[in-house]
Structure 1
């Protein structure tokens, strides 16, 4: 039963909802949050405003301050897909600060969207749309679905992506449903697609598990298009993100009802801040989580000049792509990738992101390393060359000429 149909033991009088989105420099993404807030207000019959954790206005604190003038109760509903650091640390910190600033205001903090039957149903429809586009039928053709999420450093959040993929598989005629990520953790989308190709399915449906058409969603589409070109015997395409589908309102309504009746349930048994998980032992403890949230909040404060105050949300000066496809991998590109990443981490002057890449079309000349926006491709790169590329090209903009395979004009 969704929240709008459920019994509501607490009166709706003198109450408001704050829908909290992450915030983006792309105004289109912020507008999506506002559209959903308006839809939530219409669905629930409760005044609903939008607020943002970062990168957009109003902030959570400012939005709550605006509501405090007209109501005595605010329920915060989080427009986050997974329970990672923002949900566990940053939003609760902002809510606590708002409680201190408005002691007469009752503020309930809700959970993230999480795993919900309405989302599984929505993903199924997104897959069906791609099936129709490709001219395939899951009941007759060998069809694989690859669910691609953002990826997180929180294993609890990543596990939800795997659970959604499994629920999407159960009771449906897909031959396989795989989980992948566009960054941060593994398996990465391109690696998963290459593995899927070995089974030679008739079609592959890539589902971006994203709310909107942002940079990461486009990156997922690009990966799917590249895969479709690289493997002509497999029809592949990416679907649409969740968007503002009405089924999200079912989920948001349930999360609102849970919060306002103090029945929010979080996965504390698998939270890296509360349980000592292998590989995440240093993250245990509320003090560490709070320090991380305060540091993140401070990072975003008074950032008038992004160039002088870069942080993780800002694009790096250079992007280094290392081919890890079959031929380059056989020549040792995985080791080159790790050496480049280590050298980049050790450098104080380097502002670059080092990622793996699918085939760059220079088979036999690798391992290939491409540096952008410079358009410089290095060939035959060995482990010992990695530090030279970082110290010379990435640190000082001096091309390592003897390794250059080709340069591409911009």
Structure 2
């Protein structure tokens, strides 16, 4: 590991607190591995962006392992990160660059979400799961694949427990929103609702979500709400990153999943992102309307 640098890449938040949390996380991760060279940077809304982060990591290293510290790979991870790595290869010809998968929605993240839900149920004094609705609350993306990954987590939670309802809601970009899902669950007789945010760090949205839940509590006084929090400092996240580093003692020039991506040109990335945002969004609304009608037919 002595000649390898690890670059932890956060998305970046307009809210400085969100970025600070990632820097705190990196500091704690360094404490776990004092002999590792760990740098951090962000894709946007921060002082140190991709190019500078890659340059810092490359200094004095023979190999740089980039880890997207992001739950869902949408446009930024698929397009901007590989393009930045390609540029860094030109600037640092003596250094081998590789890119690990983003955190993803696998068993490790599922275990973290399950831990969050278990804590909320304890907070509610272990109510009957049949009358306790669960809402997984994600950020929402114009990338249908990223939203589908969250749907997988909802399905796994449903299969793992006895909850009658495990639903998905999103805070932006796509639908349904939290209010709609709570309205449905109330109509279907839930007497408690656990809201599990699928967020690594708080950023600005956790404050908004808290305010929304307070409003919902006033609107539905007969329902007891329990709201989880971001989970970036959960030990499962440190262990997931450890496994990414441990699994990648990389041969020269190795390519990992999000490296060598065909969506490289910035113009193409912009074009794809803009189009997927509008078309997926409207198609989803149309489908959602029909699905809603059919469900109540």
Calculate the TM-score normalised by the size of structure 1.
0.60
Q: Residue in 1 aligned with 2:14?
A: 25
Paired position in structure 2 for 1:197: 186
1:327-406 correspondence runs (5 A) = none
Quote the Cα distance in structure 2 between the aligned partners of 1:294 and 1:180. 26
Query: Which of residues 203, 208, 217 is equivalent to 2:197?
Result: 208
For structure 2, the residue ranges without an aligned partner over 5 or more in a row are: 273-281, 283-297
Q: How many residues align?
A: 268
1:218 — aligned with what? Answer: 207
**Are the equivalent residues in 2 in contact too, given 1:39–1:249 (CA < 8 A)?**
no
Query: Does the aligned pair in 2 maintain the 1:149–1:209 contact within 8 Å?
Result: yes
After TM superposition, the structure 1 = structure 2 runs for residues 101-250 of structure 1, keeping only pairs within 5 Å, are 101-138=91-128, 142-250=131-239
Structure possessing the higher radius of gyration over alpha carbons: 1
Counterpart check, 1:291 vs 2:267: yes
Q: Give the conservation status (yes or no) of the 8 Å contact 1:108–1:259.
A: no
Note if contact 2:22-2:201 (Cα within 8 Å) is conserved in structure 1: no
* Residue 263 to residue 40, structure 1, CA distance change in 2 (3 Å): farther
RMSD of the TM alignment (CA)?
2.6
Q: Provide closer, same or farther for how the CA distance between residues 162 and 238 of structure 1 changes in structure 2, counting only shifts above 3 A.
A: same
The aligned residue for residue 72 of structure 2 is 82
TM-score (norm 2): 0.81
User: Secondary structure at 2:166's aligned position in 1?
Assistant: strand
**Alignment partners' CA distance in 1, 2:29 and 2:269:** 28
1:105 Cα deviation from its structure 2 partner:
0.9
- Return 5+ residue gaps in structure 1 as ranges: 1-11, 267-273, 275-284, 297-337, 339-410
Distance 2:184 2:141 in 1: 22
Shift of 1:79: 0.8
1:253-298, Cα deviation, whole Å (9 max, x unpaired):
23334555457446xxxxxxx9xxxxxxxxxx746x64254799xx
Determine the C-alpha separation between the residues in 1 that align with 2:197 and 2:67. 23
Larger proportion of helix: 2
Q: Distance in 1 between matches of 2:93 and 2:197?
A: 41
- 1:146 is paired with a residue whose SS is strand
How many angstroms does 1:108 deviate by?
Answer: 0.7
Bigger relative contact order (CA 8 A; separation at least 6)? 2
Distance 1:24 1:260, change over 3 A: farther
Contact 2:98 2:256 in 1 (8 A): no
Cα separation, 2, equivalents of 1:118 and 1:85: 23
Partner Cα separation in structure 2 for residue 93 and residue 294 of structure 1: 13
Matched-pair contact (CA < 8 Å) for 1:82–1:112: yes
